[in-house]
Copies of this chain bind each other. A is one copy, B any other.
Amino acid sequence: MAADGAGRVRRFSDRLADSILRRRSVVCVGLDPVLERLPPQVRPQAAATAAAEAAAAVAAAFREFCCGVISAVADVAACVKPQAAFFEQYGAAGWQALADVVRCAREHDLPVIVDAKRGDIASTAAAYAAALFDGAPGPQGPLAGLGADAVTVNPYLGEDALEPFVARCAGGHGVFVLVRTSNPGAAGLQELDAGGRPLYLRVADLVARLGAAHVGEHGYSDVGAVAGATAPTSLAAVRQALPQAFLLVPGYGAQGGGAAAVRGLAAGDAAGLVVNASRSVIYAWQQDGGDYRRAAARAAEAMRDELARVVW
């Protein structure tokens, strides 16, 4: 996916920009499957007795549900963001379902950001990058990894822990570093004053430094930042610190953030941001009734249109 017809690798930031422009949408659909919220037609029957079979049944239901959502929003979403945790709950079967969902999204030409928030010392971070991107060494050569286009990473361990991910940008991958998250307790650490500048902006400075060498044709870096819609003032400060970065903005919808939070934050020819909603899109059927795919498509369209008014 990352190579054009002539075998050249196309940068992640350019592929994401292309997707945004082609769909005229900055919507990122978060894939957070939860057993008790699955629509009846994909919910696993309570027939399996062995635990391994039951986990496999849930994983199969997650696969069907997420692929159903993906095909429904494929013309409306700029990208999708599966959340690794919800799949990992179901062990090996869950991990395989996540790999299948990634492939499903890529078959629909949707860039996939795997939300895994990994972070570790360099040799371990390289192993995580192999796991999430394009695979580890095998007995006869490299094996397939999860196939993510981009991943989210945690900056607490510092620059050397981010580098193994950033090193993958040249191969067509992208990285979104957690800068200012969307949860209620985010401010506790992230807004601490760190020598005259809040910690999250110190992290933004690090993102700028790491990303400067990985800028694509559209003028965006492959090293982006996660900054939540629930803290609009901080979000604006992140944009100011990172004029070339793609921002991945969670917190829209169920978490309470609205389109107003991203007003004025677009940058460059392809907006330079994607706004994620998970539950308000994929579980729209619980509000609206009817087929879960149609409800997800309608919710994504409404979100696309609402965001268009403040972004373009």
Interface residue stretch chosen among A64-72, A113-121, A263-271, A289-297? A113-121
Is the pair B93, A138 in contact by a Cβ cutoff of 8 Å? no
The quantity of this chain's copies bound in the complex is 2
Interface check A206, CB cutoff 8 A? yes
Chain B residues whose CB sits within 8 angstroms of the CB of A118 once the complex forms: 85, 117
Q: How large is the interface on A (under 10, 10 to 19, 20 to 34, 35 or more residues)?
A: 35 or more
Known A-B contacts A155-B189, A199-B192; A124 and B85 likewise in contact (beta carbons under 8 Å): yes
Interface residue stretch chosen among A50-58, A215-223, A233-241? A50-58
Interface check A310, CB cutoff 8 A? no
Known A-B contacts A118-B85, A124-B85, A181-B121; A159 and B188 likewise in contact (beta carbons under 8 Å): yes
Interface residue stretch chosen among A2-10, A19-27, A139-147? A139-147
Chain B residues whose CB sits within 8 angstroms of the CB of A128 once the complex forms: 85, 88
Question: In the bound complex, how far is the Cα of B46 from the Cα of A161, in angstroms?
Answer: 32
Interface check A127, CB cutoff 8 A? yes
The smallest beta-carbon distance between A29 and chain B, in angstroms, is: 16
Chain B residues whose CB sits within 8 angstroms of the CB of A90 once the complex forms: 136, 143
Interface check A112, CB cutoff 8 A? no
Question: In the bound complex, how far is the Cα of B158 from the Cα of A184, in angstroms?
Answer: 9
Interface check A111, CB cutoff 8 A? no
Chain B residues whose CB sits within 8 angstroms of the CB of A35 once the complex forms: 136-139
The smallest beta-carbon distance between A212 and chain B, in angstroms, is: 17
The smallest beta-carbon distance between A136 and chain B, in angstroms, is: 4
The smallest beta-carbon distance between A168 and chain B, in angstroms, is: 14
Q: Per-residue 0/1 for A28-51: is the Cβ within 8 Å of any B Cβ (1 yes, 0 no)? A: 000010011000000111111101
Question: In the bound complex, how far is the Cα of B278 from the Cα of A127, in angstroms?
Answer: 15
Chain B residues whose CB sits within 8 angstroms of the CB of A143 once the complex forms: 51, 54-55, 58, 90-91
Chain B residues whose CB sits within 8 angstroms of the CB of A43 once the complex forms: 139
Name 22 A/B residue pairs within 8 A (Cβ), A-sorted.
A32-B124, A35-B136, A49-B140, A51-B144, A54-B140, A54-B143, A58-B139, A89-B127, A89-B131, A89-B135, A91-B146, A92-B96, A95-B95, A121-B181, A122-B183, A155-B156, A156-B181, A158-B186, A158-B190, A161-B185, A192-B194, A192-B202
Q: Which residues of A contact B (CB under 8 A)?
A: 32, 35-36, 43-49, 51, 54-55, 57-58, 83, 85-86, 88-96, 99, 117-122, 124-125, 127-128, 130-132, 135-140, 143-146, 154-161, 178, 181-190, 192-195, 199, 202-203, 206
In the complex, besides A51-B143, A83-B127, A121-B183, 4 extra interface pairs with C-beta distance below 8 angstroms are A43-B139, A54-B138, A89-B127, A92-B95
